[in-house]
Structure 1
Amino acid sequence: MECEIINERPVDGRCSSGEVCVQSAPMAANGGHFKSEGNRASRPPAMYSDPSTIVPPASLSELIQTLHDVFAHEDISIEYVQTLMASYKSNPREWKKFAKFDKHRYTRNLVDDGNGKFNLMLLCWNEAQGSSIHSHANSHCFLKVLDGTVKEEMFEWPENCDQAEAMDEDGDEADRKDGSNSGMQKRDESQIVKNACGYINDDIGLHRVENPSHVDKAVTLHLYSPPFDECECFDERTGKHTTAKVTFWSKFGKRTPFGRHRNVPISCTTEAENN
């Protein structure tokens, strides 16, 4: 599932003031499309390809149903999904039952499993909580802010951990745990405001997400396709990386059976968990 990124396309969100807030996100060279796993070859109808045809979902349930309709096809338009998610106007009454916070770290709360095609989840960030620098296991990641504002920092892959070398000659993930001490190169930083939607995949780079506020919480809606249960986390100072298992704090509004320490967000080190 490779996408060569060549340009940027803006996706509009609405700031709390009502003004349009543009969150730019790179799009893929093949027109911004990727293949949804598990589907027979079929092209989506125009209504799921052309963002200009989108009617903003009236509710979170309607957004989820439309996402299921979109992912029922093999060929997925990145721009369409991103614009669709941005067009949903956040309503806390609709997602509050999924919003579970933990005072120690941010939480991942599964909202919908997308029939195996995608995972849709709420990430809940207490004040100043954040992730480590991480990859996305060759998945496509859409990030919409439902409440508050989050800061996204973009990083290049370490030289010894080039994305092009992420697979070994057999097509399996190569062992890259012997990272050098070159450190991480930060290339960009931006804030994603309420109702705006960003996008990233491993070809674009690595990122770190955090709630920059020390007084307000933040809630974000994430879609990952295909779903994944582990990714790589990177130490900013050394560039070294480890593989992290990721789990859910809750599923469909109910607490998972894991203890608190089994809720593993994308935070591999003490330093990362405190960012």
Structure 2
Amino acid sequence: MASHSTTSTSKPASIHDSARGSPVPEDAFHHLVQEINAILGPSNGIDSAGVDVNELKKAMLDYRSVEHEWSQYAFADHSRAYTRNLVDRGNGKANLLVLVWTPGKASPIHDHANAHCVMKILKGSLTETLYGWPCQRADNPTSCATETTYEQEQVTYMSDSLGLHRICNPSKDEVAVSLHLYTPPNAAKHGCHIFDEKTGKKTHVSQCHFYSELGVKM
């Protein structure tokens, strides 16, 4: 999963990429990175006037996953439930990440720090469990609302207005890989909250770290 492939080109995927001093491959995946940055434009994120979540979802849907185009960002670590690998910082307006999910593992139940997330399955499948917000009483359990499994090429959207969720790789043998656009990048800056499934009690996670940045393991 950590293999790298490069194709020389002088066209950067974003201002951030042009500053890293290495050419960005000219393929459909990196064209998607460029398109996302163009959609976000001079805005401050998806909440800004003129930015439509459906346009971002369509851009991700239109991309057909080709593993060698994104494999340079896909670092697996079976000692963790998943890895968070930074692809692009969206000119400061977003974080675009590739997440690699260990077989049978899941994220904790979490919020999105008042950010929006568009997720595309690049490889395998992922099951999302969507929860309602827990009540203020600490002993009130988080209620399960729905469970949906998304297959390769499918795209979904999540925000705090929809509740909380947990993502799981249902496969016992194969890693799954997903592409996530977070805008604005609040969780990386300020952290987020995770929730106990039985009590609903929340815990603040101060910062969501990256396992790799721009194809380089940290």
- TM-score (norm: length of structure 1): 0.65
RMSD of aligned Cα (Å): 1.3
Aligned match of 2:126 in 150, 156, 167?
A: 150
**What corresponds to 1:28 in structure 2?**
none
Confirm whether residue 92 of structure 1 aligns to residue 53 of structure 2: no
Aligned match of 2:197 in 214, 217, 236?
A: 236
Aligned match of 1:77 in 24, 30, 52?
A: 52
After TM superposition, give the deviation of residue 151 of structure 1 in Å: 0.2
**What corresponds to 2:183 in structure 1?**
225
Confirm whether residue 252 of structure 1 aligns to residue 206 of structure 2: no
After TM superposition, give the deviation of residue 84 of structure 1 in Å: 1.0
Aligned 1:158-197 pairs, distance under 5 A:
158-160=134-136, 180-197=138-155
- The DSSP-based 3-state class of the residue aligned with 1:237 is coil
Q: Distance in 1 between matches of 2:37 and 2:55?
A: 13
Q: Distance in 1 between matches of 2:35 and 2:216?
A: 24
Deviations 1:54-89 (A, max 9, x none): xxxx60111011111111143210111011111100
Aligned match of 2:37 in 65, 68, 87?
A: 68
| Alignment length (residue pairs) | 182
Q: Distance in 2 between matches of 1:236 and 1:148?
A: 26
- TM-score (norm: length of structure 2): 0.81
**What corresponds to 2:19 in structure 1?**
none
- The DSSP-based 3-state class of the residue aligned with 1:70 is helix
CA contact (8 A) 2:39 2:55 kept: no
- The DSSP-based 3-state class of the residue aligned with 2:105 is coil
Q: Distance in 2 between matches of 1:84 and 1:206?
A: 25
Aligned 1:36-55 pairs, distance under 5 A:
none
After TM superposition, give the deviation of residue 204 of structure 1 in Å: 0.8
**What corresponds to 1:133 in structure 2?**
109
**What corresponds to 1:116 in structure 2?**
92
AA in 2 matched with 1:204: L
Q: Distance in 2 between matches of 1:87 and 1:187?
A: 29
Q: Distance in 1 between matches of 2:76 and 2:62?
A: 25
- The alignment-based identity, stated in percent, is 38
Deviations 1:82-129 (A, max 9, x none): 111111000101011100011121100000010101100000011111
AA in 2 matched with 1:246: C
Any runs of at least 4 consecutive aligned residues in structure 1 with deviations exceeding 3 A, and if so which? none
